[in-house]
Chain A
Amino acid sequence: MEQTILTNPAPVSQRMGHFLKQNLREYGMLISLVAIMVFFQIMTDGTLLQPLNLTNLVLQNSYIIIMALGMLLVIVAGYIDLSVGSVCGFIGALAAVLMVTYEWHFIPATLVCLLVGGAIGAAQGWFVAYFKIPSFIVTLAGMLVFKGLALALLHGQSVGPFPDTFQKLSSGFIPDWFDGGELRLTSLLLGVLVALTMVVMAWRTRSNQKLHGMEVEPMALFAARNSVFAVLLVALSWLLASYKGLPNVLIIMFALMVAYDFITSRTTIGRRIYALGGNEKAARLSGVRTERLAFYTFVNMGVLAALAGLVFAARLNTATPKAGLGFELDVIAACFIGGASASGGVGKVMGAVIGAFVMGVMNNGMSILGVGIDYQQVIKGLVLLAAVSVDVYNKNK
C-alpha cells in the first residue's frame, strides 16, 4: 500500500477533500476563531484589534490559557480538575503574604509558590491515581479546601500592592533594544523570527513524513495554513509593537504552548497520556505505568495553576479572597470547545488554546459592545454547547 500511495496518487482535489475531512476539527476551530474575531472587529468598529485592546486581550486570557494547557493533559488522561480556580486564588494569596506581609524577594517567593502548587497537585493526584478516588470528587474537595485556605491566609481582606519587580510578570513588556520610535522593533523582529521558525519546522516535519512515505497534507493546504499562521503572527506582533511591545506574559505563555504542544504530539510521555485516557487497562497491559502517569499529570496541573495564580495576582497587583473564582469553568470550557473528549483520550493543546481564545475574544468583544455580564454568561454557555454538539454530530455522521 505504501507504494500505491506514492505511485498512484488520487486526484489532487479528492485528496484535498479527504484531508480536509480528516482534519475538519482543527481547520474548523481556526476558522471559527477568525470568524468570531472578524465579527467583533466589525461590530466594535475596529476597537477589538486596536493595539491597546489586543494587549489587554492577551493579558486577560493568559492565566486561563496557562491552566488550559495543564487541564488538557488532565482531561486527555481521563480525569478532571475542578480545583484549579481555588488553587489559583490560594497561590495568589500565598504570594501576597510572602511578598507583602513578610517582604520576601520575589524570586524565592515565586519558587515557593510554584512548589506549593506542585505539592497541591501531588496531594490530589495521589488520591486520584493511587487511592482510586474519582478525580471529580477529589478536586471538588480541593476546590472547597483551597478556597477556604485562601480566605484564611488573607483574613478575608485584600493584600497588596506587590513589589514592582513582581508586577512586571504581568504588566511588563520586553525591553526594546533598538530606537524604533513609535514601533518597538525588538518585539516585531521577535514575532517575525518566531513565524519563520515555525514555517521552517513545519516544512521539516512534512519532509520527514514524506520521506517515510506517509500521507502528507497537500501542498496547497500546507502553504495556505502556514502562511495564514505566519501572517497572523507577524500582524499580531506588529500591532503589539505599535503599542508597548510584546508583554512578558505573552512570551511565557507562548513558550509553554509550544512546549506542551510538542510534549503531547511528539513525545512518549504525551503518547502514553493519550493511551491512558483512551483505554487505561490496555495501556497498563502495554507496560505504561498508568498510576505514576496520572499522578504526574496532576502535579503538572498544580504547578501551572500556581503559575496562573501568580500571573493573575501580579496583574491585579493585589491578592483578594475572591481571586480565581470560577476560573476552573472557563479553563474546562476552553478544553472542551477545543475538541477534548470528556471520556478521555482525545484532545489537542492547540485546540484548547484556540478554545480559550474563542472564550476570551467573546468576553472582550461583548464587554466592548456593552452586553451585560448576565447575557455574556448565557452566550458563552450556548457556544460551549454548540461547539461540542457540532463535534458529536460530526463524529456520528
Chain B
Amino acid sequence: MEPILEMRGISKSFHGVNALADVNLTVRPGEIHAVVGENGAGKSTLMKVLSGVYPYPEYSGEIRFMGQERRFKGIAESEAQGIIIIHQELALVPLLSIAENIFLGNEPARYGVIDWALAHRRTRELLEKVGLKESPATLVTDLGIGKQQLVEIAKALSKEVKLLILDEPTASLNESDSDALLQLLRGLKAQGIACILISHKLNEISKVADAITVLRDGSTITTLDCKDGPVSEDLIIKAMVGREMADRYPPRTPKVGDTVFELRDWRVFHPVHTDREVVRGLNLSVKRGEIVGIAGLMGAGRTELAMSVFGRSYGRRIAGTALMNGQPVDVSTVSKAVDHGIAYVTEDRKSLGLVLADTIARNTTLSHLDGVSQHGVIDEGREFAVANDFRGKLATRCAGVHQQVVNLSGGNQQKVVLAKWLFANPTLLILDEPTRGIDVGAKYEIYSLVARLAEEGRSILMISSEMPELLGMCDRIYVMNQGAIVAEFPAAEATQEKIMWAIVKASQ
C-alpha cells in the first residue's frame, strides 16, 4: 500500500546547528505511528517542518503527502490538506464554550452570522465520536485537562483530518483518561485516520503503535515495525539513548531515621466553592532519609494538599497541624514554610516554577536570596558561583548560567527548579510530578539526584501519576483518593494492581 506520508532526507538547521539531519519518516494509511526520542532529539522540529511552521526552503528534503510532493508555507496550508497537529500545550480558549472552540475560525456562518443551532448539532456529533459526554455550551475552563484533550481531537475531526499529530497527548493525563484517549485513537484508526503519536510513555506506545520511529540527535535511528508482535520497551530505550539502560531507577539502600515531618487532621477547602472539602482530615508522616510517594488519580487532591502545606498557596479555611521534628510549625506563608525547611517543586514548572525570561542564575537564587546577599545587596559573583555549582552537580545542559531558562529543554528547566529549591537547603522536599514531560535520560538523572538527597538525610515526599516511578523510587507509598489517604504500603508490598484496587475500592 502506498504510504500516506513520506518524509525523505529532511534536514533543518538553526544558525548553523543541525536540528535535523537526513530524517526519514514513512506513515502508512490508517496507522498509528509513534515518534520517540529524548528531549532535543528533533521530534517537535520534524513536526513543525511537516505542518509548515518552518516553510520550504527553510528545510531541505522532500515531503510527499497523499501521493504528491508538498511544500507547505504555513499551518493553514497543511490543515487544508488534512494534517492537523495537537500541541502539548492545548490551544483552546478557556472562556469560550466547547462549540465555540471547535468551530473557532471555521464557524458555520452565512454573511458572517453564525448558525449556532448547526454548530451545536455538529458539536454534539463530534463529541459523541470522541466519547465526551458534555453539553456543547459548557465552557472549556470547566473541563478537566483530559476532557480538554478530547475537545481538541473533536476540533481536529471537524476539519476532515487525514493525518492527526498528537504531541505528548497523555503527558498530563491520569491513567484512566490516557487509556480512554488511546482507545479513541484506535477508533480513529478504524475509520482510516492515520496518526503520529509523540510520547515519552513507552508502555502506552507499545500498546497502540503499529510502527515506531526513533530519533536521536536529529537523525532517524530506526523504524520498528510492531506487526510481528510487540516491541520491547528495552529495545526502544536502547535505540533512544544509544546505550543499554540496565536500570531505569538508581539503586539505593534506604537509611530511614526518625519522623521529621507530620501532618495531623489536615483539612483544606476549595478556594472558590468554599463548602467543598478538598483535603479531608488527612494524616501523614515522613521520616528522615525516606522517600514517600503519594499515588492517586488526577483530582485526588494531591497537589492541593502539597500547596496548602506550602504557605497556604492553595485553598481556604485550612485547618490541622503541621509538625516538624515533633514541634508544631507555622506554615501560613511561603517564606515561613521555607524557613521551617519545606520546599515544594511544582508540577507546572513553566507557569509556577520559573521566571522564564530570567537567567538560570537568577532563577536558582530566587527562593533564597539571603544566601547570596548581605544587608539586601546581592553579590553577583557569589550568585554566579552558586548557580555554576548547581549546574555542575545537576549536570544541567546549557550555554552558561546567564542563559534564559525559556530556551532550555524541559528536563533542564526541571533541574533549574530543583536547583532553586536545593539552594534553600530544605529538610523536606515535596516533589510534584518531578519527571512530567521529561525524556528517559533526564529522568534517570533526576531519580539519581532524588536518591542522593535522601541519602544526605533529607526527607522526600513525591507526588506522581506514574506508578512505576513511585514503585521504583519510594520506600513507602500513600494512596490518596478524594482528599483522603485510603491506603498505605511499604514499597516491598506495593504493586500497581494493589494501588489501583485501593483507589477503586475507595471510590465505590
Chain A residues at the B interface, C-beta cutoff of 8 Å: 1-2, 5, 208-209, 211-215, 266-269, 271-272, 274-275, 278-279, 281-289, 345-346
**Interface pair B334/A275, CB less than 8 Å apart:** no
Does B41 interact with chain A (Cβ within 8 Å)?
no
Q: From known contacts A278-B356, A278-B358, infer whether A215 and B380 are also in contact, taking CB-CB under 8 Å.
A: no
Of all chain A residues, the one with the shortest Cβ separation from B348 is A281
**Interface pair B388/A285, CB less than 8 Å apart:** no
B313 to chain A, nearest CB (A): 6
A286 proximity list for chain B (CB < 8 A) = 334, 366-367, 420
**Interface pair A212/B400, CB less than 8 Å apart:** no
A15 to chain B, nearest CB (A): 13
Q: From known contacts A213-B384, A214-B384, A346-B357, infer whether A287 and B378 are also in contact, taking CB-CB under 8 Å.
A: no
A-B contact pairs, 14 of them (CB 8 A): A1-B388, A208-B379, A209-B384, A213-B385, A215-B400, A268-B373, A275-B358, A275-B366, A279-B351, A279-B356, A283-B355, A285-B313, A285-B353, A286-B420
In the complex, number of A-B residue pairs with CB atoms less than 8 Å apart: 98
Of all chain A residues, the one with the shortest Cβ separation from B369 is A268
**Interface pair A213/B388, CB less than 8 Å apart:** yes
Interface string of B349-381 (1 = CB under 8 A from A): 001111111100010001101100100111111
**Interface pair B380/A272, CB less than 8 Å apart:** no
A345 proximity list for chain B (CB < 8 A) = 355, 357-358
Of all chain B residues, the one with the shortest Cβ separation from A343 is B357
B333 proximity list for chain A (CB < 8 A) = 287, 289
| Distance in angstroms between the alpha carbons of A1 and B360 in the assembled complex | 14
Does B332 interact with chain A (Cβ within 8 Å)?
no
Does B346 interact with chain A (Cβ within 8 Å)?
yes
Q: From known contacts A1-B391, A214-B381, A286-B366, infer whether A268 and B355 are also in contact, taking CB-CB under 8 Å.
A: no
Chain B residues at the A interface, C-beta cutoff of 8 Å: 310-311, 313, 333-335, 337-338, 344, 346, 351-358, 362, 366-367, 369-370, 373, 376-382, 384-385, 388, 391, 400, 402, 420
**Interface pair A282/B354, CB less than 8 Å apart:** yes
B355 proximity list for chain A (CB < 8 A) = 274-275, 278-279, 282-283, 345
Q: From known contacts A278-B358, A279-B354, A286-B420, infer whether A268 and B334 are also in contact, taking CB-CB under 8 Å.
A: no
**Interface pair B377/A267, CB less than 8 Å apart:** yes
**Interface pair B358/A268, CB less than 8 Å apart:** no
| Distance in angstroms between the alpha carbons of A214 and B400 in the assembled complex | 10
Contact of B384 among A212, A267, A271 (CB under 8 A): A212
Of all chain A residues, the one with the shortest Cβ separation from B349 is A282
Of all chain A residues, the one with the shortest Cβ separation from B421 is A286
| Distance in angstroms between the alpha carbons of A67 and B357 in the assembled complex | 26
Of all chain A residues, the one with the shortest Cβ separation from B344 is A285
**Interface pair A267/B385, CB less than 8 Å apart:** no
Interface centre among A213, A271, A281 (most CB of B within 10 A): A271
| Distance in angstroms between the alpha carbons of A268 and B375 in the assembled complex | 9
B335 proximity list for chain A (CB < 8 A) = 287, 289
A274 proximity list for chain B (CB < 8 A) = 355, 358, 362
B388 proximity list for chain A (CB < 8 A) = 1-2, 213
Of all chain B residues, the one with the shortest Cβ separation from A2 is B388
Of all chain B residues, the one with the shortest Cβ separation from A262 is B377
A212 proximity list for chain B (CB < 8 A) = 380-382, 384-385
Q: Which 6 A-B pairs have the closest CB atoms?
A: A212-B381, A278-B355, A286-B367, A287-B335, A268-B369, A287-B334
Q: From known contacts A1-B391, A285-B310, A286-B334, infer whether A267 and B351 are also in contact, taking CB-CB under 8 Å.
A: no
